[in-house]
Amino acid sequence: MGDLSKWVSNSLLHKLESLPTVSSNCCIYRVPENLRKVNEDAYRPLLVSIGPVYYGDPKLIAMQEQKLRYLQSFLLRSTSYKLDNYAEVIRGWEEVVRQSYVETINLLSEHFIEMLLIDAIFIIELFLRSCFHEFIDENDRIFNKPRMILQVTRDIRLEENQLPFFLLKGLYDLAFRPSSQNNQLPFLDITYKFFMGKDEVVPPRIASADVKHLVDFLRICYLPSASRDQLPNTKQNFEFTSSVSELSEAGVKFVTSQSKNLLDIRFVKGVLEIPKIVVTDDTESLFRNIMVFEQCHYYFDSYIIDYFAFLDSLINTPKDVAILVQSGVIDNWLGNNEEVANLFSKIFKQTGLKTSKFYYLGICNDLNAYAGTQWNRWRAILKHDYFSHPWAAISVVYAIVMLILTVLQVVTGFK
């Protein structure tokens, strides 16, 4: 018995000593299984692997040749550093990069550094070619085929397909100095232009942010103008609002907000202002991956999750979508209102929500209070029960006219 206890003790001590260091640098996560089961395709790359999670996946090997072509072009343009210089720099960052991933990376150093170098330069070169079209050559299989650039863009927005942002920015800053051909644009600027498609100054809140990786960058771009700490402190109980159709029957009007921030929703004097959202084939994948990152990294400070939780409460049926399409809130590129309704009903599924800090709590309470007033309740009942069909509406109007005529007849009869 003593020998058995000693063996167990030694075995556990060895396992404890072998535990990897837990680091605060961790920011790249695996998709939780409960979320992956809802829509696995939304989280898997179609063409290109970035980083260690899908490294060596046979379905993604074909893009390796294009990655190497991008590396070759990059080295010809960046003459201040040679290939071994970049490899040496990455070697100095290796431990911090490994700590960025939630799971231990078992690749040997030489393979890990080579992968980081190829993948990081691929992303930098991709952004440069997007900004400066003169860099695109005739052998470019990405920009010369429109569908390819769409799929590659989708793939580099996946949470499991990330590199730390400091690695990308660090290599870019090493390569391009004041005399470079890229007009000295900071890496954050070409990142912003690539994803947002805007030739404008990067907003201060993005420029000053501590960006973890590209998914985090997108999250920051979509954040609302006011943080939850700037909202009025409310102690009211939380309850989701009614659907668009029900609120519309109660007199709520839906209009497109002029705000540039997708999450800037306001309810003022019976009018719900919502910034336009364009719904395409890639919308679900884009926001699902941002929501995964929030769920894992910003659970107590989620904004994208709260936004889709709010829209999920508003949108239950194709009729709800139709009202939002008509008001300009939704730009439906899917073509089918039922598909959009299904998207919003599924996208929040299995996602946790911190209701006590729900960003749209105040708006939900205001909408419920507005729809719950006596006049608006009667208005909703009348609209739903008596004005939902033309013949029902005609019957109500006829009954009102007959009532008025009857009253007039009684009054004139008394005279």
What's the CA angle centered on 105, arms 101 and 106, to 5 degrees? Answer: 175
Confidence of residue 382 (pLDDT cuts 50, 70, 90): very low
**358's tokens:** 């729900």
The pLDDT value recorded for residue 188 is: 96
The pLDDT value recorded for residue 401 is: 59
CA nearest neighbour of 172 among 80, 301, 51, 310: 80
pLDDT tens-digit readout, 249-276: 999 999 999 998 999 999 999 999 999 9
Beta strands in 30-182 (DSSP E): none
Indicate whether 2 pLDDT > 80. Answer: no
Share of the chain above pLDDT 90, in %: 70
Indicate whether 91 pLDDT > 80. Answer: yes
- Return phi, psi of residue 112, to 5°: -65, -45
The arithmetic mean of pLDDT across residues 33-61, rounded, is: 96
The pLDDT value recorded for residue 132 is: 92
Indicate whether 204 pLDDT > 50. Answer: yes
101 DSSP assignment: B
**123's tokens:** 């992303």
- pTM metric for this prediction: 0.86
The pLDDT value recorded for residue 75 is: 93
What's the length of the chain? 415
Is the model more confident about 139 or about 411? 139
Ranges 20-34, 122-136, 327-341: which has the least confidence: 20-34
**Residue at 179: amino acid letter:** S
Q: 10 Å Cβ neighbour count for 304? A: 26
What are the DSSP calls for 227-285, one per residue? -GGGSPP--PPP-----HHHHHHTT-EEEE---SSTT--EEETTEEEE--EEE-TTHHH
Helix (H, G, I), strand (E, B) or coil at 31: coil
The arithmetic mean of pLDDT across residues 84-104, rounded, is: 96
Indicate whether 64 pLDDT > 60. Answer: yes
Confidence of residue 357 (pLDDT cuts 50, 70, 90): confident
Q: Strand 271-274 and strand 266-268: pairing?
A: antiparallel
**76's tokens:** 């010809």
Average pLDDT across the chain, whole number: 88
The arithmetic mean of pLDDT across residues 187-213, rounded, is: 94
Residues facing 277 on adjacent strands: 330
The pLDDT value recorded for residue 232 is: 80
Rounded Cα–Cα distance for residues 347 and 334 (Å):
16
The three-state (H, E, C) secondary structure of 143-163, written as one string: CCCHHHHHHHHHHCCCCCCCC
Helix (H, G, I), strand (E, B) or coil at 29: coil
Indicate whether 378 pLDDT > 50. Answer: no
